[in-house]
Amino acid sequence: MRTAEFALAFAFSASSAGEPLDAAPPERLVVKASRIVPSPGKSIPRGVLVIEGGKIAAIGTDLGVPKGARVLDYGDAVVCAGFVNCHTAAGIDGAVTDTTEAFTPAICAADAVERRRRGFDRAAAVGVTTIGFSPDGRNVVGGTAALVKTGPEASVVRREAYLKISLSNAAFDSERFPTSLAGGLGALNRAWKEAGSDPARVKEPGAKILARARAAKGLRPWIEAGDPAVARQVIAMAKDLGFSPVVVAAGDLTEAASELAAAKIPVVVPVPVLDSDRRERRAPAEYAKAGVEIAFCTMGMRNEGSPESLRLGAVLAAATGLDRVAAFAAISTNPAKILGCEAEVGSLDVGRDADLVVFGGEPMNLAAPILAVFASGVPVGGEERRP
């Protein structure tokens, strides 16, 4: 019955699919489910969600249905917020990073986002509705990452979400300066110094980006580190320069976990994959135990092009010691917070984007199928995706 109802709803919406979104009349959509999980660990029984203009207009138990609204009743399903992959380079054909030189602060990943790329489409279809689209770790200063809403209408929400910096081995190349960690650190410190901390006084675009990142406001530096010693270098750098970075774990940094926690530096961790050994799989649990705020990402993984690896990896971490709620938070509220967009995505509340994933069970249970995905109120995936 549910399927028939839904198919009918889509037959209706499909006719208007070709028209621009803003031309369509503001549509009221009501999603009902046996439970809504507004954020990890929270639960609204007999949940009703009212969507207006792509945003959540109301959320609660047994709410009344506004007049003229289309109602999608998912029965005993569970609804949660769309997932956030805060650090990835997947979704487009080709790469963001230009590796001919190691310092490319003026590269803007947003420029590489091409609409209607299948990668973004696929991400949306499996519930990843927001991504931090970023240069990878092969340049010391790779450029700025963009905040992108996925789906067929992939759009850049914020052009400059963070500045990607890398001190992992991937950034050091024997063919190009710098060839070593020491060289990279020296060059990075020089670049910080030259840029200064007042963006208004800098003209050169690259230096301006660095100055803005240093100025603690606006652009947060995300620094990739491959081992604990480098993580400690980042902690020291943050203290010296007075900014608050995010550390991207390109290796096992658990040894420095408590120091990172003390410095209140969040860590972005690639999700465990199938060829991760036990130690790698336990790392997320170790960070969490030390009190580090963690968010999962898929950057640099061999299967990065496969967007479902985000939830799969989070579940696998939960199967190896990480608390289930913490694993859920690491692909929803935490990355949204670290990206600075927690008021829009990562959880469900009035005024936030209507990014929803409808599961036939608990969101963190892999046996639960994805019944539907909505990105800003538009159905984009699941079993009953738009034709």
Contact positions toward other proteins, by CB under 8 A? 273-278, 301-306, 308-309, 312, 315-316, 318-320, 324, 327, 360, 362, 364-370
Tokens of 352: 């936030």
* Rounded-to-integer distance, Cα 345 and Cα 162, Å: 17
* Rounded-to-integer distance, Cα 219 and Cα 194, Å: 17
Is there a contact between 378 and 384 (Cβ–Cβ < 8 Å)? no
CB of 368 to other proteins, least distance (A): 6
HSE-CB of 115 using CA atoms within 13 angstroms: 5
* Rounded-to-integer distance, Cα 37 and Cα 159, Å: 30
Residue 76 or 277: the one with the smaller Cβ distance to other proteins is 277
Residues ≥6 apart with Cβ < 8 Å to 9: 70, 72
Residue 34 or 306: the one with the smaller Cβ distance to other proteins is 306
* Rounded-to-integer distance, Cα 168 and Cα 184, Å: 10
Residue 172 or 359: the one with the smaller Cβ distance to other proteins is 359
Residue 65 or 274: the one with the smaller Cβ distance to other proteins is 274
CB of 364 to other proteins, least distance (A): 6
Q: How far is CA 156 from CA 112, 159, 267, in A?
A: 10, 6, 24
Residue in the structure block whose two tokens are 């799989």: 281
CB of 360 to other proteins, least distance (A): 8
CB of 191 to other proteins, least distance (A): 33
Residue 107 or 327: the one with the smaller Cβ distance to other proteins is 327
Tokens of 31: 């999603």
CB of 314 to other proteins, least distance (A): 10
H or E element at residue 335? helix 333-339
CB of 232 to other proteins, least distance (A): 28
* Partners of 128 in beta bridges: 83
* Rounded-to-integer distance, Cα 297 and Cα 248, Å: 9
CB of 85 to other proteins, least distance (A): 13
CB of 125 to other proteins, least distance (A): 12
Residue 242 or 369: the one with the smaller Cβ distance to other proteins is 369
Residue 27 or 323: the one with the smaller Cβ distance to other proteins is 323
Provide the b/e sequence for 251-283 (b: ≥16 CB within 10 Å).
bbbbebbebbbebebbbbbbbbbeebeeebbbb
* CA 274 to the chain's CA centroid: 21
Residue 191 or 312: the one with the smaller Cβ distance to other proteins is 312
The angle, 0 to 180 degrees and rounded to 10, between the axes of the packed helices 181-195 and 228-241 is: 10
Residue 87 or 324: the one with the smaller Cβ distance to other proteins is 324
Q: Is the peptide bond between 38 and the residue preceding it cis, with omega within 30 degrees of 0?
A: no
Is there a contact between 165 and 222 (Cβ–Cβ < 8 Å)? yes
CB of 124 to other proteins, least distance (A): 16
- How many other CB atoms are found less than 10 A from the CB of residue 286? 19
